[in-house]
Amino acid sequence: MARDIAKVGVIGLGTMGAGIAEVLARSGLSVVAVEIDDEGARRGRGHIEHSTERALSKGKLDEAGRAALHERITYTTALADLAEVDFVIEAIPENLAAKAEVFAELDKITKPDTVFASNTSSLSITEIGVHTARPGKVVGMHFFNPAPVLKLTEIVRTVVTEPEVIADVVAFAERLGKTPVVIGDRAGFIANALLFGYLNHAVRMYEQHYATREDLDAAMRFGCGYPMGPLALLDLIGLDTAYEILDTMYHQSRNRLHAPAPLLKQMITAGLLGRKTGRGFYTYDAPDSPTVVADSTQESTVDTASARPVRRVGVVGTGTMATGIAEVFAKRGFEVVLRARAAEKADAAVAKVRKSLDKAVAKGKLSESDASAALGRITPAVEFDALADVDLVVEAVAEELSVKQAVFAALDEVVKPGAILATTTSSLPVIECAAATTRPSDVVGLHFFNPAPVMKLVEVVHTIATAPDVVATAHAVCGAVGKHPVRCADRAGFIVNALLFPYLNDAVKMLEAHYAEAADIDTAMKVGCGLPMGPFALLDVVGLDVSLAIQRTLYNEFREEGFAPAPLLEHLVTAGRLGRKTGKGFYDYTVR
């Protein structure tokens, strides 16, 4: 028989605790909200009043509903007032000793059947629960911030949690309008365990001056469709909170990738905690404000004044990426030479561009005259000599270094002096392509993202030999074709893949350890973190073989143990389960 929960206690009325209390009251429950002192209770009430005022102004709550919500919440500073509640949710700061003390005290006060839940985002539920005489009735119930908005709730079971308690808590979460996922007791649970390794890696990139904060954030927003870049997200979370979560995860996992980046500690010591203090990686116009203002640490953009003129562009290749790049340039008025190995391949490539342009016309994104004009600017070619007078040539052939080097050697012989030679490789060293030429200073990486006509990001990759005016030209050209360029050095994975694929690999390791099901992990990252796709759905789209190759490249370059490809990924590729293209990956698909 399902547990009857009518009255709930909430301990701690910070941003998260106040949000949880609001969710409970909005669902018709009576709430006893406890804070350490009157000032804390006043602040907590203020959080809820502010939140409900915003809901009222947006039409998500009417005046009568708002008044009824507030009437359901009783504020107190005495734990003893929780004696008659059916369920307690603790949401005090992330300190194990403090939480253990609260739970031990609750155990003496509440009814024997009352269930205790901790909203901890990283601490062990088992260690908290052993301080009570009812560890079987202790669970984790991790809400996400802001609690009234975000749907995901991680329900954390320990080895002694009673099954019926888990069933009751899942039903309770659903009653609150949340999407629950049930998981075991492990540092970071699902979302934080995957999210914070990625965030920490981004801090290390910034710390090493590999890329600017603006370029790091733009890369993940435009390249992956993430709602926020990693450094802006850390400012929102709070650098002190992030440090505590990472430190807890590191002490449980001993995974060096979870060891907090030293820069985090330095910024915390300096009081730069993010939005809540008005300054973190970015500077805000006031504490708790989302508005970023210019500051002395603002990174300068690339000066394109020295850019070389580019009017005619060559594209080498006939795959989806090559034809997409040709379309991007042709639509923006550039004359394009599309070079293929054979005449029939060249004709097929132009036909592929025509099909893409027709789709854009059908969707109302392009006029028929503009599509016709764009197609007219593309000249198919077979010989490299056809590229002799281009100002920029972009190589987009298969990801095999020997093939790319052969193409660059051929281009070096025929393309005019001063022309820029670019590769759109996603993982191979750009300098290896440059070394195949007699003009390494004219070689740059221009990593477009697939599909090139749609995706806005281009990673501009400079090698140790790339001339500054070549980088300036690359940025100017990206702007001319409506793309957002981000600058980075010639290192495996550049920005996006170097941040994305270790996260995906960590998700595979989590599945491999039977910690959670693929669907639950995907749900946690989509619903809890607002990502456009969960890691396993994304791996299936990218292709498990492609993902494995990129992960191997990252591991071979950085020699970081945590980057070693998950054995499960290796096994699936060996078994021919490559994702959507084969109909079977982490999920099964209907192949048409």
State the catalytic residues: 121, 142, 154, 192
Residue of 449, 461, 455, 460 lying closest to 482 (CA atoms): 455
Question: Amino acid identity, residue 293?
Answer: V
Burial of 395 (0-12, 13-18, 19+ CB in 10 A): buried
Tokens of 146: 């802001």
Cα-based distances in Å from 192 to 139, 247, 248, 522? 17, 12, 11, 13
Count the neighbouring beta carbons within 10 Å of the beta carbon of residue 11: 25
Give backbone dihedrals phi and psi of 32, rounded to 5 degrees, phi first.
-110, 110
CA–CA separation, 529 vs 344, rounded Å?
46
CA distance 131 to 165: 18
Paired strand residues for 336: 313, 378
Q: Which amino acid is at 261?
A: A
Residue 338 backbone phi and psi in degrees, to 5: -105, 105
Pair type for strands 420-423 and 443-448:
parallel
Could you tell me which residues are beta bridge partners of residue 584? 579, 588
- Let me know: does 119 contact 144? Beta carbons within 8 Å: no
SS3 breakdown of the chain: % helix, strand, coil, rounded to 5?
A: 50, 15, 35
Q: Name the phi and psi angles at 344, rounded to 5.
A: -65, -35
For 399-421, the three-class secondary structure string (H helix, E strand, C coil) is: CCHHHHHHHHHHHHHHCCCCCEE
